[in-house]
A = this chain, B = another copy of it.
């Protein structure tokens, strides 16, 4: 088994409505010290051993991320 973690975040300059909403809500909860919230996706893949980084990139570009408004970072997970 090969595992990969993927971190999907909004590109710089793209509005993140969920993050903005969370910011306001935290301030209402008296957690005003939290000044900025950005909410992205944390995706964990479990793949068979034949999987290449290129396969994972394809999965991101075609389905898991929206390359127009999101950046992603792929991190191979070492087995323990």
Q: Is the CB of B42 within 8 A of A37?
A: no
A37 neighbours in B (Cβ, 8 Å): 43-46, 64
Q: Is the CB of B51 within 8 A of A45?
A: no
Copies of this chain:
2
For chain A, which range describes its interface: under 10, 10 to 19, 20 to 34, or 35 or more residues?
A: 20 to 34
What are 26 A-B contacts defined by CB distance under 8 Å? A7-B42, A8-B42, A9-B42, A22-B63, A29-B59, A29-B62, A29-B63, A31-B59, A33-B48, A33-B55, A34-B45, A34-B55, A34-B59, A35-B46, A35-B47, A35-B48, A36-B45, A37-B43, A37-B45, A37-B64, A39-B41, A39-B42, A39-B43, A40-B41, A41-B42, A42-B42
CB within 8 Å of B: which residues of A?
A: 7-9, 19, 22, 25-26, 29, 31, 33-48, 50-51, 55-56, 58-59, 62-64
